[in-house]
Structures are given as C-alpha cells and as structure tokens.
C-alpha cells in the first residue's frame, strides 16, 4: 500500500483481523481506481490501516458504503455521458 496517498481521519483501538490482535488502527481515506462495467472510475475508499502489517482492511459496513459510493460516482459519470 502506498501510504503517501492516505488521509488519516481517525485512530481507533479495535480488533485487527490482520494481526488478530486488539490495537490502534488508523481510519484512512484514499483515492483508488476501480473498473466498473469496463469503465475506470476514480473514487475514495475509507478503510482501516494496520501499521503493524502495512495492510488495509474493511468491515462489512465499510465495504457496503464504499460500494454505494463508487456506484453513485459511476451513475453520475454515465448520466454526464448521455447528455
């Protein structure tokens, strides 16, 4: 993961599934590129970052939210294209 792109929103002590331990993880926001129906979409994802393993992880809620977010951007993009 390229940490330079991260915006740290918060630091929370919680269970980390990567380490399988309870420790402080960073709530981070970063821009990422997704491919949706052949269309490249730049969007922001919010995930937890584990400093111990240098890896991100997300909860089911976060995953849902990120998915809704990228879908909205995709719809906006599509609407723009047809006008």
Q: Which residues bind Zn ion (CB under 5 A)?
A: 16, 18-19, 50, 52
Instruction: For Cα atoms 70, 45, 81, give the angle at the middle one, nearest 5 degrees.
Output: 25
Residue 23 or 65 with smaller CB distance to Zn ion: 23
**Shortest approach of Zn ion to residue 52 CB, angstroms?**
4
Output helix, strand, coil percentages for the chain, rounded to the nearest 5.
30, 50, 20
Residue 18 or 36 with smaller CB distance to Zn ion: 18
Residue 15 or 76 with smaller CB distance to Zn ion: 15
User: Are the C-beta atoms of 16 and 22 separated by less than 8 Å?
Assistant: yes
């Amino acid at each position: 993961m390229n940490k330079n792109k991260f915006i740290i929103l918060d630091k929370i002590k919680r269970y980390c599934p990567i380490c399988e331990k309870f420790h402080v993880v960073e709530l981070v926001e970063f821009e990422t590129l997704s491919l949706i129906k052949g269309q490249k979409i730049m969007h922001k994802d919010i995930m937890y970052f584990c400093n111990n393993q240098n890896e991100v992880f997300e909860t089911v809620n976060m995953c849902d939210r990120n998915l809704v977010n990228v879908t909205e951007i995709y719809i906006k993009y599509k609407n723009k294209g047809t006008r």
